[in-house]
Amino acid sequence: MFKILVKIGLFVSLFLPLLSHAAPKDNLSEFHLLVDKLVAAQRDFDSAALSELLHSDYVEISPAGEVDHRKEVLSFYDKSHKVKGQNSPKIEISELETKIDGKYAFVIAKETFIIPNSERKFSMRVSFTLKKTHGSWLFYNAQYTGIRP
């Protein structure tokens, strides 16, 4: 009996930490929805919606390598900066990977931009950190990296 308990204890001690870091299925869909909301707000130049998704200390590294804080990001996505008459690209989110560690979540995704009325498309790999604040996940930082065609 003692040997069985030792084996069970050993099994639990080895594999329980691995299970605690895996994101449950419902969390995966929760984070996919959050990324979808962020992308829609960016695409539509909806700084009000974006403001609700970004943590007060949000910072991002743009594809050009520039560091932008929350204030600059919200200013960039103001409706007045949207080019009138220009159709927004369709943006597909794929290849999501999510890890959760306490009040932080790490999401890596592929964003593919499909240019309207064109065969052109390009992709970026995005790394997001979200922070759970007052019961809600907010985007804490992001880094955008272009993917070679």
How buried is 25 (Cβ within 10 angstroms: 0-12 exposed, 13-18 middle, 19+ buried)?
Answer: exposed
Short-list 10, 76, 25, 20, CA closest to 46: 76
> In whole angstroms, what is the distance from residue 99 CA to residue 78 CA?
31
What pLDDT was estimated at residue 108? Answer: 96
Short-list 32, 49, 53, 33, CA closest to 41: 49
What pLDDT was estimated at residue 28? Answer: 59
pLDDT along the chain (149 residues), means of 10: 38 37 56 94 92 97 93 88 74 93 96 86 95 96 91
Q: What is the pTM of this model?
A: 0.77
Q: What is the pLDDT of residues 92-119, one digit of tens each?
A: 999 999 999 999 999 999 999 988 888 7
What domains sit in the chain, N to C, each tagged with a CATH number?
22-147 (3.10.450.50)
> In whole angstroms, what is the distance from residue 2 CA to residue 89 CA?
63
What pLDDT was estimated at residue 83? Answer: 72
